Structure 1
C-alpha cells in the first residue's frame, strides 16, 4: 500500500513538471538612458513626476474638443474593434488548449444488431445488444509537461494579442491627435491663402488702373495678375485639403463629428504634462505595449521548446467507460447489467526518422528568432524616443527663429507695398517681398504644427497611458 501511494505521488509530481527552459528577461540591447547630444532641453526630472506611460490620455491632452474626438474614435474605430475581437479569439484558443489538460467525459447510448445464422434448413435470428453509460475518451497524462507547455504558449500568445490591442489603441489616440492638428494647420493655410488673395487683388486693381492711365507698364499688371491667380490656386487647393483632413478625421472617429468638436483654426496647448525630463531611464521602454507583445511572443516560443522536448519521452493515455449493457432495451440499467472497460496505453518513441529532433531544433530556432525580434523592438523604440527628444530640444529655437523671420518679412513687405503705392519703386520689389512673407508665414504654420505633433509623438513613443482617465 505504501509503495502504491509513493508511486501515485511521484506520478503527480512528474505530471506537474515542465521541460521548458526557465525564462529570464533578456538584457535590453540599448543604453541605460537617452543621450540628447545637446539637442534635448527638457530639464531634470521633477519630484513626483509620473512617467508618460502612467498618464491617461485624458490627463495628457489639454484640448477638450480633441478629447471628445479621441473618445469617439476609441468607441467606434473599426480597426480597434477588430483588435478587440482578435483578443477574444485568442482567449478562446487558449481555453481550448488549456482544456486539453483535463479529462473529457461524455455519455453514450448505442444499439448493435447482427444476424445469427440458423442450423441446417433452419432459420437464423437477429441479435440485439444495447449499451449506455459514461465514456472517458483517450486522456493523456501530462507526465513531462507537453500539454502544460502548449497551454503556456497559447496563453502567452493570447496575452500578446492584448498587448497588440493596447498598442493599437495608443497609436489610434496619437493618429487622431495628429489628424486634428493637421486639420488646424490646413485651416490656417487656407485662411492665409484667402488673406493673400485679397491683398493681391487690391494690388492687381491698382496696377490695372495705372496701366490703363498709362503710368505703369503692362508687365507690372501681368505680374500682379500672376500673384492673384497663384493665391487663388492655393486657396482652392487648401479648401480641398481641409475637406480631406476632415474626412480622414471622420474615418478615424468611426462616425460623423459634431461641429462643436471641430477645431477653430488655432493651435492651443496640446499637452497638460510638465516638461519631460532628459534623464529618463530607457527601462521605461519595457512597458511599451509593442515591446511587451514581442516579449510575449518570446515567452511562447520558450514554452514550445518544453513541448518539443517532451516528445522524446514516453506518453501515457487512459481510455475508460462504464455503464450498462443488455440484450434487450428493457433490461438496460437493470441490476446485473453493469459493465466497465479500462484501457491504459503507453507509447514509447523508438525511431521516428529524426522528426522529434528536427521539431526541437525548429522550436529553438523560433525562440532565437523571437529573441532577435524582441531586441529589435527595443532598439526601434529607443530610436523613436531619441529622435522625438532630439526634435523637441530644437523646436523652441526653430519656432522663435521662424517668428522673427515672419515679423521681418512682414515689415519688409509693408515698406515695399507703401513705396509701390506711392510710385516710389516698381511692383517687382513688392512682389518679391510679398512672396517672401507668404513663405515665412507658411513656415511658421509648419513650425507650430511640428511643435504640437512632437508632443503627440512623445505620448506614443513613451508608451502613453491608454486608459480614459487616471482612475480607470
Structure 2
C-alpha cells in the first residue's frame, strides 16, 4: 500500500501534467484512498450482562402473563383516569425547565455530530482583493522599507502609482485514511444517543414526580377531612369528660388524657396541611409556574385507581430503561474514542489546491495570462512525542472499561429497582386488603354501637369513641391506597414508563426533526456502530 501511495503521489506531482490533468489525477488519488481507507481501533460490541429469566418478586399472575410484546403506553398516566392529573403532566412536559435544559443538551449533542461530520468534506475558501499603491521619488529599496500588502512592483525605486487586483480560491481536504474522523463521528453519535435517552429519562422523571406529588396531595385532602372529623369528636369527648369530672364521675387524669388526644389530632392536622401545601408548591414548580399563582382545589372524596401494570420479560428492561440505554451508548462512544487515539500513530494526508487571477488592471484580471495556481499533497507524521499518544490510548481504554462497568452496574440497579417496586406493590396490596377488612368490621361495630345507644345500653361517649376508631380505620385504608397508587407510579417509572429504544429507526443527523415534532426520543440517530 505504501508503494502504491508513493507512486500515486509522484504521478500527481509530475511536471508534465497540465493543471487540469493534475487536478483530475489528485482527485482520483483521493477517491482511491478514501475507498480503501480503514478505521483503526476496535469495533464495538455490546457488553455482555447477566439477565434473569423472570422477576423474583413478580406475582404469580404477572409471571404467567409476561409478554415479550407487552409494554406500557407512552401516556401511562391516563390509566389513573384523572383528567386533572393528565392536564398537569402534559403541562409539565411542555413547561418544565429541567426538560428544557435536557432538550438543549440533546440539540448540542446533535450539533457536535454535525460538526464532526463536516470534517469528512473539503474546506473551500475564496477571496477578492484590490490595492492601489503609491511610491515617492525619494524611496529607496536599500533602506529596507516596504509597504505591507503591496505587490512586488510597488517596491521598485521607480516612483509612481500602481494597482494590484487579485481573485483567489483555495481548497484543502484531510483524507480520513485511518478512520480518525469516522471514529470521532461514531463517538459523537454515541454521546448524542446517550443524551437522547437522558432526555427521555428527564421527561419520565418529571411526569412520575408530578404523579407522586399529586397522589400525595390527594391523600392529604382525605386525611385533612378525616382529621377534622376526629378533632370535632375529640372536642366533644373532652367536653363530656370535663362535665363528668365536674360531677365527680371521672378523674382529672381522664381529662388530661382527653386533652392529649385532642392536641395530638390537632398536631397531625397541621402536619398534614403542611404536607399538602408543600406538595402543591412542588407541583407548581414541576409544571413551570410560580407557587404563588398555582392552586389545586381540595377533593376530600378522591378515589384512588390502581392500574394493572403489564410486566414484560427482564431482557426487555435493557431497551426500556433510559439509564441503561444511556450507559450502553456512553460505552459505545468510549469505544470509538479508542480508535481516534490509535489513529494518531499514523500519518495524515492533506490535499491542498489554490488558484486565482492577479493583474494590475481590473479589466484584465480574469484572463488566462493572469492566472496563478498551486496544487499538491501534504503528508505529515509525528516521529517522537515522549509517549503522549500511548498515554492517550491507555486513557481511552481505561475510560471504556469504566463505562462498561458502569453499564453493567446500571443494569443490575435497574433489576433491583424493579424488584423493589414489585415487592412494594405486592405487600401494599395485601396491606390494603387487611385495612379494608378492618374497616368493614369497624363499620359493623359502629352500627352495633349505635343500635345499643338507641336501646340505652351504651353512652354517647362510647359511640363517639367507636366512631373515632372507624375514622382511623378509614384513614389507614386511604393512606395505604395512596401508597399503593404511588408505588404503581414508581414501578411504571422503573419499567421505563412506556419508552423504548429502537435502533432500527435511522434518520440523517442533518435532517432531524425539531423537538416539537419528534414522536419520541431515539429516532434521530443510528444506534448501530460502524464495522
* TM-score normalised according to structure 2 size: 0.76
2:109 alignment partner, one of 83, 90, 100: 90
**For 1:163-196, what per-residue CA distance to the aligned partner results, in whole angstroms no more than 9, with x for missing partners?**
1101111111111111111011111221121011
Match of 1:133 in 2: 168
Match of 1:33 in 2: 54
Q: Report which structure shows greater RCO (CA 8 Å, sep ≥6).
A: 1
2:208 alignment partner, one of 150, 170, 174: 174
Match of 1:300 in 2: 333
2:140 alignment partner, one of 113, 117, 120: 117
2:483 alignment partner, one of 450, 453, 456: 450
The answer to whether the aligner puts 1:144 opposite 2:178 as a matched pair is: yes
**For 1:369-404, what per-residue CA distance to the aligned partner results, in whole angstroms no more than 9, with x for missing partners?**
111111111111111111111222222211112233
For residues 73 and 440 of structure 2, the distance between their equivalents in structure 1, rounded to whole angstroms, comes to 41
1:358 alignment partner, one of 391, 395, 400: 391
Q: What are the residue-to-residue correspondences of 1:402-441 with 2, within 5 Å?
A: 402-407=435-440, 440-441=473-474
Match of 2:273 in 1: 239
The answer to whether the aligner puts 1:76 opposite 2:76 as a matched pair is: no
1:41/1:393 contact within 8 Å kept: no
2:230/2:468 contact within 8 Å kept: no
* Structure 1: segments with no counterpart, 5+ residues: none
For residues 283 and 403 of structure 2, the distance between their equivalents in structure 1, rounded to whole angstroms, comes to 36
Match of 2:359 in 1: 326
Cα 1:156–1:73 shift into 2, 3 Å: same
Q: What are the residue-to-residue correspondences of 1:349-388 with 2, within 5 Å?
A: 349-388=382-421
For residues 111 and 228 of structure 2, the distance between their equivalents in structure 1, rounded to whole angstroms, comes to 57
Match of 1:266 in 2: 302
For residues 294 and 499 of structure 2, the distance between their equivalents in structure 1, rounded to whole angstroms, comes to 22
Deviation (angstroms), 1:241 = 2.0
Deviation (angstroms), 1:154 = 1.0
**For 1:64-111, what per-residue CA distance to the aligned partner results, in whole angstroms no more than 9, with x for missing partners?**
221111111111111111111111111112111111111121221235
Quick check: 300-309 or 432-441, which moved more?
432-441
For residues 173 and 203 of structure 1, the distance between their equivalents in structure 2, rounded to whole angstroms, comes to 45
Count of paired positions: 459
Superposed CA RMSD: 3.7
Quick check: 394-403 or 434-443, which moved more?
434-443
* Structure 2: segments with no counterpart, 5+ residues: 1-6, 12-24, 144-156, 501-515, 521-531
1:43 alignment partner, one of 56, 59, 62: 62
The answer to whether the aligner puts 1:162 opposite 2:196 as a matched pair is: yes
Quick check: 211-220 or 372-381, which moved more?
211-220
Match of 2:254 in 1: 220
